[in-house]
Amino acid sequence: MQIRNSAGAVLPELEDVFEFDSDLWDYLQARVPQPGPEQKCEAEEHKEFADPAFATTFFYVLEEGHICYTYVCDECMDSMVEDYDSPNAEDVPTDGWGYATDPVHCV
């Protein structure tokens, strides 16, 4: 997913935050492996549980120069989305060619 042009400026078509968030989600859906059948929820709320719920999807954040994803259950996803702020295109880490970096599994 190209985000910046050769001069390093954000592409004009990505300036709409909500449309960009949808495009970024599609990009990540194609690159983040779906949680396996035994994958447990990795959300902070479930780390203390002896037997956390199974993960059904992933949640992503922009952190330390990476697009980080964590596997979460439906309940945690719902609560995380409530506090979620859509990223701006200029905040997404890119490689030297202006393309979004590959997502990294951050637990």
**22-39 tens-digit pLDDT:** 888 889 999 999 999 999
Query: Which residue, among 86, 83, 37, 27, has the nearest Cα to 62 in the 3D structure?
Result: 86
Tell me which of 12 and 19 has the higher pLDDT.
Answer: 12
The share of the chain scoring above pLDDT 90, in percent, equals 36
Residue 50 has pLDDT above 70, yes or no: no
List the beta bridge partners of residue 59: 70
Query: Which residue, among 70, 68, 75, has the nearest Cα to 58 in the 3D structure?
Result: 70
- Give the per-residue pLDDT at 36: 92
Residue 89 has pLDDT above 80, yes or no: yes
- Give the per-residue pLDDT at 44: 83
Residue 71 has pLDDT above 90, yes or no: yes
Q: Domain ranges for the chain, please list them.
A: 12-105
The pLDDT of 92-104, averaged and rounded, is 91
Count of CB atoms within 10 A of residue 30's CB? 8
